[in-house]
Amino acid sequence: MKNIVVVATGGTIAGIGEKGKTVAYHAGEISVDDILKSIPNVAKLANIREVQLLNVDSNEMNENSWLTLVKTINCLIEQQNVDGIVVTHGTDTIEETAYFLNLCVHSEKPVVMTGAMRPATATSADGPYNLYQAISLAASAEAIAQGVMVLFSNTIYSGRDIQKVNNYKIDAFDQKSFGCLGYMQDEHVYFFSKTFKHHTLHSIFSKNLPNELPKVAIAYFYAGADASILDYLSSSNEGIIIAGSGNGNYSKEWMEKIESNSKKGIVFVRASRVPLGIVFNDHIFDPHEYCIAANTLSAQKARILLSLALSYTHDRKKIKEIFEEY
């Protein structure tokens, strides 16, 4: 049997509330040991070791917890008697942690994240089944070299593209227009596609983890949005992601502030507040290329890539290439 380590960080999968109810609960309360004990036949999937790293609501995750998590994973995964890692996590920010790990884990061994939309005390809690499948996926030979994945509701998603699209249903995720990487039926794994973007061992960031992540903020554009927010954010951040309208667009007033703050060294990236599509570099809209296109990344994922990129270089041309490759 394969050796799988489950690293627990909290979330609704470890949440408790009134017995049977699906709402009004506290996330990050029970131990991963208790969750594992509630799963029939889980010991038949792999030899399982547990690490209770954190037990928090995922809205408490931040750059420091990401760095602690990736260092823990990199340390475990290089051990010969570890074949794969499962990370339990809250669903609210799982897409951010998954992309960070996808860029920073230094191994081709499977790393699979999972969580739950219903607390452990709910009728038909979804956590135990998701965790059962995540362990099985992490133990599967087909999951090697696929990048960091998220397993949720019988579906395998890529850490780069997964996004939360429903804040209520248990089938809460998709992978933009890219479908999914595959499906699972109980413990059986079926892959159908793969991501072509750099990840894990082929990511420059996995070879050289920063001790601290440069500060990057997100500015949300809307009709009539006050551009002075960009001066404010530029005073305390090295980079700013614009969650623009349509194809990462904004007003002339925002354009002027982006230009003046770019000249002071702040790096700007254009993502879109629209969940599907792609933001291209646009020589008509932004002829001097003050704003780098985020490609298909959401603003919150672009923020992670820009922060890692700024820990590596401040050369805009190089950062533009990074946004094309990752």
- Among 76, 113, 117, 131, interactor with ligand SIN by CB under 6 A: 117
- Integer-rounded Cα radius of gyration of the chain: 20
- Among 92, 161, 238, 286, interactor with ligand SIN by CB under 6 A: 92
Please spell the DSSP secondary structure of 257-324, one letter per residue.
Answer: HHHHHHHTT-EEEEEESSSSS-BPP-TTTSTT--EEE-BT--HHHHHHHHHHHHTT---HHHHHHHHH
- Kindly state whether residue 115 participates in binding ligand SIN, applying the rule CB under 6 A: yes
- Among 57, 96, 126, 238, interactor with ligand SIN by CB under 6 A: 57
Q: Which of 197, 154, 155 is nearest to 175 (CA)?
A: 155
- Toward ligand SIN, which CB reaches closer, 117 or 309? 117
Q: Which of 9, 41, 55, 53 is nearest to 129 (CA)?
A: 41
**CB atoms inside a 10 Å sphere around CB 154:** 16
- Kindly state whether residue 90 participates in binding ligand SIN, applying the rule CB under 6 A: yes
Amino acid (one-letter) located at 75: C
For the bound state, the minimum distance from the C-beta of residue 122 to ligand SIN, rounded and expressed in Å, comes to: 12
Instruction: Number of residues interacting with ligand SIN: please give it, by CB under 6 A.
Output: 11
Whether 12 is catalytic:
yes
- Kindly state whether residue 96 participates in binding ligand SIN, applying the rule CB under 6 A: no
Interface region with ligand SIN, contact rule CB under 6 A, candidates 52-60, 177-185, 239-247, 313-321: 52-60
Whole-number Å distance between alpha carbons of 118 and 278: 32
**CB atoms inside a 10 Å sphere around CB 22:** 19
Interface region with ligand SIN, contact rule CB under 6 A, candidates 85-93, 193-201, 287-295, 297-305: 85-93
The number of residues in the chain equals 326
- Kindly state whether residue 91 participates in binding ligand SIN, applying the rule CB under 6 A: yes
- Kindly state whether residue 128 participates in binding ligand SIN, applying the rule CB under 6 A: no
- Kindly state whether residue 12 participates in binding ligand SIN, applying the rule CB under 6 A: yes
Give catalytic residue positions: 12
Could you list the residues that contact ligand SIN (CB under 6 A)?
A: 11-12, 27, 57-59, 90-92, 115, 117
